[in-house]
Amino acid sequence: MTFKSDNTISVTEEKPARKLTNKEKIDAIANHFSSIMKILDLDLNDDSLKDTPRRVAKMYVEEIFEGLDDSKIPNIKKFENSFDYKGIILEKNISLFSLCEHHFVPIIGKAHIGYFANKKIVGLSKLNRIVNFFSKKPQVQEKLTVQIVDFLKKELETEDVACIIDAQHLCVSMRGIKDVNSWTTTAEYSGKFLESNFKNEFLQLIVGENK
């Protein structure tokens, strides 16, 4: 990025020939974020601001966007359904933090995941890890809901998976319409959950315990 004499900005980007290391990503993002802060007339010599570009860069790479690194995809250990459990397995109120890919501001909510075991079941904490992984990238809620279901269908070798996400979008509450009360709900059903009796049971299990 360079500043021209007429105060316009020229940005030239070259596609890297190889995948950047995390350190290289952090260095590059910190440099660009410094430029953004300067454009906003923020004083990078201020004690409170001088380290902000690197803090933001590390946060992006090592925390809130770590889902962009495919090597971080959860290792899902599965167990035999040796007791032949046939009911719904539900984990609800899974904390969810993501960022809207349109404005890069937070999406905060809860995910509810249900499935019918085929031959395999997973440890409950693995469902939290799945939600966390797919959330840690720029997202839209609809896509996130589908990604969670598709991943579980493949891992569990079953079509009988459902996911509901309830979330608040700060792109709605802190900008634009500035509505702090609205929530967005998305639902993806497959297999048995497309049948009304199983879908209703799934919904009742979620709502009943949340009263």
User: Collapsing DSSP states into helix, strand and coil, what is residue 121?
Assistant: strand
Q: Of 24, 62, 102, 157, which is the active-site residue?
A: 102
Whether 32 is catalytic is no
Whether 163 is catalytic is no
Backbone angles phi, psi at 145, to 5 degrees: -60, -45
DSSP 37-93: HHHTT--TTSTTTTTHHHHHHHHIIIIITGGG-GGGS----EEE-TT---SEEEEEE
Q: Of 100, 139, 147, 163, which is the active-site residue?
A: 100
Do the Cβ atoms of 161 and 193 come closer than 8 Å? yes
Whether 147 is catalytic is no
Q: Of 101, 142, 157, 195, which is the active-site residue?
A: 101
Q: Of 32, 66, 103, 168, which is the active-site residue?
A: 103
Q: Of 141, 147, 163, 188, which is the active-site residue?
A: 141
Question: Which helix (H) or strand (E) is 34 found in, with range?
Answer: helix 22-39
Whether 102 is catalytic is yes
Whether 63 is catalytic is no
Residues annotated as part of the active site: 100-103, 141, 169, 171
